[in-house]
Amino acid sequence: MGVSDVLARLAVRQAHVLVVEAAGHWLTRVAVERLTSARGWHLAVSPADADILAVCGSTGPELTRALASLWDQFPGPRARIDVASPDRAAAALEHAEAALRSTVRQEADSSARAGHGTDDGDRPPARHDDHPAAPHGDHPAAQHAGTDTGAAQSPPGGGIALAHGGEDRDGLEMDVLHVRLGPVLPAWPTGLVLRCHLHGDVIGEAQAYVVDAAQRGHAAGGHRTSKAGPDAGEFAAQRCDNVARVLALAGWSDAAGRARVVRDLLLADKRSAAVTELVRLRRQLRRSRLLRLSLRRVGPLGPGELTRLRLAPELAGDVWDRLDGMLDRADRAVSGGTGAVTALPVTSPEAVASVVSGWDVATARLIVASLDIDVLGAVSDG
């Protein structure tokens, strides 16, 4: 065993996985996240932070193009896996580990990226050689998830966006920068793209759409077209998944991990243990004065605005209120208490674009996560 093999074996112990979910495959994404944690691996927050790209479900043409651009930005050694269903997640991660450990495979991939050969064929070909492989430590993960600059925010082609002049909301001349958020971004609704016009660091205007809308199986502003919605346990698990997203973006990764544990217990039909952990999580969050102060008065929504945007009345209040509401809905759904809600209306992309205007990018991501999105409506690219 050579030095390269020893280093590869050590590196695999701390692998980072960037998980991408295709529409309708959230259970597959959850399975990959659970098994990633069980291996002692970590979830990546950007391509530069990742060793493995895990694509959950079948992607449409728009998401496929976005993934090709994303893959170009992965440093080596790297591996890509496509996971079709939850029961195939374990085998896919085994395959990724073997690929990372294979010196021959990684050397072939490196040569292919440099234009000296071809890779092994189980990943998209590199399109250009102007992205040299960078050491993992050269790209520290963003401490605040809302401040990373992953590929999803880069303009098409990987270029650097430049600001140009324009008027802000008060009619004053200032620089305007166009930034795209999504469709691949941690703690982000599946397939959502926000095109933001930044005035300084504030979003002055935004347009939203969903990639591969024709394949998502539901219509704009309506309700689920599927006759069978999730059962109470799965509905509660989805709420806990959204709670984890808010907490991760708020910078409390340990609490986010506990929310994912509750989610996984619910999906494993271990309701008694899930309820116990959910109660503990709620108590921990309510005792956190720092979290409450951080989320209070952020993204407030009144009843009138919720009606105008066709959002659920349960979303009234600020991000803190909505976080507590998600936990309450999960608790009621799994315990069968009075007033239990087991379905939420479809959230339209236009509503998402409306609520982020006037906020900086990091706060906007927090607001989007707090909307407790169950299903996104599909609209054409405007």
Quote the CA–CA distance of 36 and 97 in Å, as a whole number: 11
Question: Does residue 204 or residue 341 have the better pLDDT?
Answer: 204
Closest CA to 199 of 173, 220, 224, 217: 173
Q: In this structure, what token pair is assigned to residue 142?
A: 């963003």
Whether residues 230 and 96 share a domain: the answer is no
Angle between helices 26-38 and 232-249 (to 10 degrees): 60
Is 47 among the domain residues? yes
Q: Phi/psi zone of residue 187: left (φ > 0), alpha (ψ -120 to 50 degrees), beta?
A: left
Provide the domain count of the chain. 2
Query: Over 70: is that where the pLDDT of 54 sits?
Result: yes
Quote the CA–CA distance of 320 and 340 in Å, as a whole number: 20
Is 144 among the domain residues? no
Quote the CA–CA distance of 364 and 370 in Å, as a whole number: 10
Is 43 among the domain residues? yes
Quote the CA–CA distance of 203 and 313 in Å, as a whole number: 25
Whether residues 203 and 76 share a domain: the answer is no
Quote the CA–CA distance of 185 and 200 in Å, as a whole number: 22
Per-residue pLDDT of 181-239, as tens digits, reads: 989 999 999 999 999 999 888 998 899 999 987 765 544 333 444 445 568 889 999 99
Select from 112, 136, 158 the last residue of a domain. 112
Is 49 among the domain residues? yes
The DSSP call for residue 199 is E
Is 379 among the domain residues? no
pLDDT at 210: 92
CATH number at residue 65: 3.40.50.12280
Whether residues 200 and 96 share a domain: the answer is no
| Confidence at 164, pLDDT banded by 50, 70, 90 | low
Quote the CA–CA distance of 237 and 234 in Å, as a whole number: 5
Question: Residue 194's beta-bridge partner residues?
Answer: 181, 208
Whether residues 85 and 224 share a domain: the answer is no
Whether residues 222 and 297 share a domain: the answer is yes
Quote the CA–CA distance of 243 and 372 in Å, as a whole number: 8
Is 153 among the domain residues? no
Residues 295-319, mean pLDDT to the nearest whole number: 94
Per-residue pLDDT of 108-143, as tens digits, reads: 998 888 775 544 444 444 444 434 333 343 333 333
Q: Which long-range contacts (CB under 8 A, 24 or more apart) does 289-293 make?
A: 291/250, 291/252, 291/320, 292/320
Is 270 among the domain residues? yes
Is 133 among the domain residues? no
The DSSP call for residue 138 is G
Other CB atoms within a 10 A radius of the CB of residue 259 amount to 27
Select from 92, 112, 132 the last residue of a domain. 112
Quote the CA–CA distance of 51 and 137 in Å, as a whole number: 12
Residue spans of beta strands (DSSP E) within the chain: 16-21, 42-43, 52-56, 79-83, 164-167, 173-181, 192-199, 202-210
Select from 112, 130, 146 the last residue of a domain. 112
User: What domain range includes position 313?
Assistant: 175-370
Whether residues 198 and 102 share a domain: the answer is no
Whether residues 96 and 187 share a domain: the answer is no
- Strand order through the sheet with 42-43: 42-43, 16-21, 52-56, 79-83
Whether residues 182 and 309 share a domain: the answer is yes
Query: Over 60: is that where the pLDDT of 307 sits?
Result: yes
Whether residues 222 and 324 share a domain: the answer is yes
Quote the CA–CA distance of 101 and 274 in Å, as a whole number: 37
Instruction: Please provide residue 170's backbone torsions phi and psi, each rounded to the nearest 5 degrees.
Output: -95, 5
pTM for this one?
0.80
Whether residues 305 and 184 share a domain: the answer is yes
pLDDT at 155: 47
Whether residues 196 and 341 share a domain: the answer is yes
Whether residues 187 and 103 share a domain: the answer is no
Q: In this structure, what token pair is assigned to residue 274?
A: 């899930």
